[in-house]
Amino acid sequence: MADLRANLAGITSPNPFWLASAPPTNSGYQIMKAFDAGWGGAVWKTMGVPVVNVSSRYGAVNYRDTRMMGFNNIELITDRPLSDNLREIEEVKKYFPDHAVIASLMVQTREEWHQIIKDVENAGADGIELNFGCPHGMCERGMGSAVGQEPNVLKTITMWAKEVAQVPVIVKLTPNITDITEPARAAAAGGADAISLINTVQSIVNVDLDTFAPNPSVDGKSTHGGYCGPAVKPIALNMVKSCAQDRDVNIPISGIGGIETWRDATEHMLLGASNVQVCTAAMHYGFGIVREMKAGLEDYMDSKGFETLYDLIGKSVPKVESWEHLNLNYKIIAEIDNTKCIGCQLCYIACEDGAHQAIGLSEINGERTPHIIEENCVGCNLCSLVCPVEECITMVDVTKNKTHESWSDYMNNGKAPTTFDDDRAGGKHHWVPEPKDALKKRK
């Protein structure tokens, strides 16, 4: 059976599922409950000089019947006194010596960093996470993402932390930056043992159309918040991949962002994360959600014959290339399985209005099943993505030229279009209807 034990830069835990620094890790009570429910580690709610929070703190994006597809908050770091947190860290470690307890920290001066690191180490923390990610409230005070967005400052503070830290130091990155590898490299250069990403994405989730104030509203006004939950997973995955691929980063990654199921977690790890952290899913469903993640990962590993997490961590990293290396000779087209089609015609209108007019309707005998016009299909996937029926539209390989030719090969071999009306344009011989055909059906 699969061995779920995880190791992030020397910090071990019984499984790779950690709670991210956030309300679920606000207290020893919650963390003990979480460990008891099966979580492998927890990053304590960021400690520092305690704050005062506003009331009305969260907003959400509901997508149709799915609640909290995206989640946003305007909370700050912990509002609890440090001594209370330290006492509770000590107690949690007494009960759960094999679980990972990480202290997330955010302070300002070198002296403060040194002092608080010693404090949490004395309390028994297995690692330290430097919160350079919080995108609201704290950055205006020169902390959080204000540091995360300044690679030099980030590097300096990381060095301060490393001056005293006995346990591994993780630097938590903000996604509110153009190129994530810059702060990631700065963290590595500053001596960080690992990075964790992503923190929340700056956001406004919605506006109340009657009061005109965005949510969450604090006495009629709002402020931008930090976005997380399932909606941010694609952003997180891309950033995790970028850091995993960068030779100058080259330190372990803790993947965070939009993880709710075993699949999300596995994707993070395939793209290079050594373990994962979860916040929104635990806030939505409680700690019990981990039982699905653990069981799912275990079943997946067993089905693939993976014995340890190392068999899968980073397995997808070499599968991501820059665009110019992708094979231009590879060709797929859509195929509709008539027996499965339910006649919604969403694929038809998607391709007709949104892609390449490669799907035709044949309304014979009230038959609503569309058909693919093969010579027009560019293999974009759109129809198969909008189709509500599993496996009804599949993409089939029709590659004729079996040699691998990429854009860079095209450039080297003179096959790439270079002028505006170049004959070598990819869509040159592609049929499109005449503009006026658009009005044909008008009565």
Partner 1 sequence: MSDFKKPQTTAEYEANFPQLKPLMDANMAYYESSRCLFCYDAPCIKACPTSIDIPLFIKQINTENLTGAAKTIYSANFFGHTCGKVCPTEVLCEGACVYNEQDVKPIEIGRLQSHATTDAIRKDKSIFKKADANGKSVAVVGAGPGGIACASELATLGYQVDIFEAKAKPSGLAMHGTAPYKIANQDVMDEVAYLQRQLGFKVIYNKNIDTRRELNTLESKYDAIFLGIGLGDTRSTGTPGEQLENCIGATEFIEQLKLDPLSVTVGKKVVVIGGGNTAMDAASESARLGADVTLVYRRSKEAKGAYEFEYDLAKSVGVKALFSTNVTEIIGDQKVAQLKCIKTQSTDGKLENVDGSEFTIECDFLIRATGQIKQKDFLDLAGLQYDNRGKVKVDSESGQCSNPIYFAGGDAVNGGAEVVNACAEGKSAAQGIHSYIINK
> Which of the ranges 139-147, 163-171, 310-318, 389-397 carries the binding residues for partner 1, by CB under 8 A?
389-397
425 binds, among partner 1, ligand FMN, none (CB under 5 to 8 A by kind): none
343 is an interface residue for partner 1 by CB under 8 A? no
Give the footprint of partner 1 on residues 31-70 (CB under 8 A).
Answer: 65-66
Q: Which of 211, 208, 210, 201 is nearest to 238 (CA)?
A: 201
Which CB sits closer to partner 1, 339 or 413?
339
125 is an interface residue for ligand FMN by CB under 6 A? no
292 binds, among ligand FMN, partner 1, none (CB under 5 to 8 A by kind): partner 1
Helix (H, G, I), strand (E, B) or coil at 397: strand
- Crossing angle of helices 233-245 and 181-189, rounded to 10°: 50
Which CB sits closer to partner 1, 151 or 258?
258
184 binds, among ligand FMN, partner 1, none (CB under 5 to 8 A by kind): none
Q: Beta-carbon neighbour count of residue 338 at 10 Å?
A: 10
Give the footprint of ligand FMN on residues 228-257 (CB under 6 A).
Answer: 228-229, 232, 256-257
Residue 218 has φ and ψ, to the nearest 5°, of -115, 100
**Tokens of residue 262, six digits:** 């075993």
**Tokens of residue 361, six digits:** 């309707």
Let me know: does 42 contact 25? Beta carbons within 8 Å: yes
Q: Annotate each residue in 281-320 with x if it binds partner 1 (CB under 8 A) or - if it does not, as one string.
A: ----xx-xx-xx--xx-xxx--x-----------------
Of 133, 183, 255, 379, the one binding ligand FMN by CB under 6 A: 133
Which CB sits closer to ligand FMN, 14 or 216?
216
Q: Which of 291, 136, 280, 99 is nearest to 218 (CA)?
A: 136
Query: 134 an active-site residue?
Result: yes
Which CB sits closer to ligand FMN, 254 or 384?
254
Distance from C-alpha of 223 to C-alpha of 53, rounded to nearest angstrom: 13
Let me know: does 377 contact 347? Beta carbons within 8 Å: no
Place of tokens 């079996």: 402
Q: Annotate each residue in 274-293 with x if it binds ligand FMN (CB under 6 A) or - if it does not, as one string.
A: ----xxxx------------
259 is an interface residue for ligand FMN by CB under 6 A? yes
Q: Beta-carbon neighbour count of residue 330 at 10 Å?
A: 14
379 binds, among ligand FMN, partner 1, none (CB under 5 to 8 A by kind): none
| Among 134, 341, 380, 392, the one annotated catalytic | 134
CB of 229 to partner 1, least distance (A): 15
- Cα four-point dihedral sign 317, 232, 249, 10: negative
- Crossing angle of helices 290-304 and 262-270, rounded to 10°: 60
Instruction: Annotate 282-334 with DSSP letters as a single string.
Output: HHHH-GGGHHHHHHHHHHHHHHHT--BGGGTTTTTGGG---GGGS-TT--EEE
Distance from C-alpha of 95 to C-alpha of 110, rounded to nearest angstrom: 32
Task: Give the binding site for partner 1 (CB under 8 A).
Answer: 65-66, 261-263, 285-286, 288-289, 291-292, 295-296, 298-300, 303, 388-391
Residues classed as catalytic? 134
Task: Give the binding site for ligand FMN (CB under 6 A).
Answer: 20-23, 45-46, 71, 73, 75, 77, 104, 131, 133-134, 172, 199-200, 228-229, 232, 256-259, 278-281
